[in-house]
Amino acid sequence: MTVVDRPSAPARQERKPHNSWAMQPRLLAVSVATPALCRSQVEIEQTMAQLWNLKGVALQRWKRIIEGTGIERRYGVMPPEDVIGLTTAQRMQAYERLAPPLAAEAALRAIQTCGITADRITELIVVSCTGMSAPGVDVALIERLGLRPTVRRSMIGFMGCFGGISGLRAAVGACAADPDAVALVVCVELCSLHMRAQSDAQSQVAAALFSDGAAAAIVASGKRFQEPFLDISPGDGTAHTKGFLEPFSGPRLTVGTSLLLPEGKDWMSWRITDTGFAMTLTRDVPVALRDAIGEFVAGAALGRPATLIVHPGGPGILDAVDGGLNLQGACGLDAARFVLQQFGNMSSGTILFVLHEALRRGCRLPALMLAFGPGLTIESMQILSAQPAEASPRLPA
């Protein structure tokens, strides 16, 4: 691996939120959804070995790759045997048909969880790197969820496994700018549509790791719920100050930080071919992350995180974070390993699956979300308590 000088992380004071704690955007809900089709990793191993006609040394290499993932099962919208011979155009047709219902399932759960109605949503941010169409998933969600036709829409595409944080960052920006904003972020990835007929090492790694899933989050401006609301008298139409609405009790979100390691631009890639999208993930990635993660986390956190919400790109990625920060398996890595084991790597939405699992387990705040993707890119976002947090424990030294 070539070693080059890396840019230092931005000075901490440049990332301090300009608004008070009470006015920061809040995370109201996180939800997840998976397709109905579920296969064990053993079944996938056997199916792909047959489709690729692997024998001898090639078959043993494939089995070692599968065993090294630590994955038990994965979900998909289509079985590999129905996908492997499709053209890219046919895969995109399947994406256009199958992505909206899965995305809508996750989104509806998020809306129901936080107890708002769909017409309260002012921003719709859709994240995906496994398919393209226009009109796309965003328009389909408006119809399926009953969102207002005036909802402001954004599509974040082809950013890979850190796309979920990019979507949350867009929501934070929208909610910080508009006191009436309520943002719905939806990540939907159909990685199963890119099982390829090629049996080279990179295609095998992708076929062993990636899965399908959707995740959604709702973010709202904290400003609106700190301001007095007005009671319009039915008699003369005069507006009277009625009182203060309760602030959302959800945790606060920061804008987060990003770091590009340009020497790694060829180590992780996601490119369109005539037979689906081709993934590259080299062994240089976990080495580079292990070297860079300590300094990055030290500069990314506004306080010392009690929990790390880490994207489980694969067991090597989690081992690199564990070793680079000397976590010894603590600080929330068990949630990331659980998601990898039970769901596989679902690209952009996986980080929200880990956040969902960590919150379900009652994780301590502040928490730091970490995800990695092409570039080579490290992305983060901090989740702070609804009220100003007390001093949090240090990461293991």
The H or E element containing residue 310 is strand 307-310
Closest to 41 in 3D by CA, of 58, 64, 18 = 64
Under a CB-based contact definition with an 8 Å cutoff, are residues 188 and 126 in contact? yes
Under a CB-based contact definition with an 8 Å cutoff, are residues 3 and 75 in contact? no
DSSP state letter for 266: T
Residue of 129, 161, 187, 191 marked catalytic: 161
Pairing of strands 377-384, 276-281: unpaired
Residue 294's beta-bridge partner residues? none
* Reduced 3-state DSSP string for 23-76: HCCEEEEEEEECCCEEEEHHHHHHHHHHHHCCCHHHHHHHHHHHHHHCCCEEEE
Q: Is 161 a catalytic residue?
A: yes
Tokens of 271: 């490119």
Tell me the C-alpha distance between 184 and 168, whole Å: 9
Tell me the C-alpha distance between 67 and 82, whole Å: 24
Count other C-beta atoms under 10 Å from residue 64's C-beta: 11
Tell me the C-alpha distance between 187 and 356, whole Å: 13
Closest to 142 in 3D by CA, of 122, 113, 168, 164 = 122
Active-site residue numbers? Answer: 161
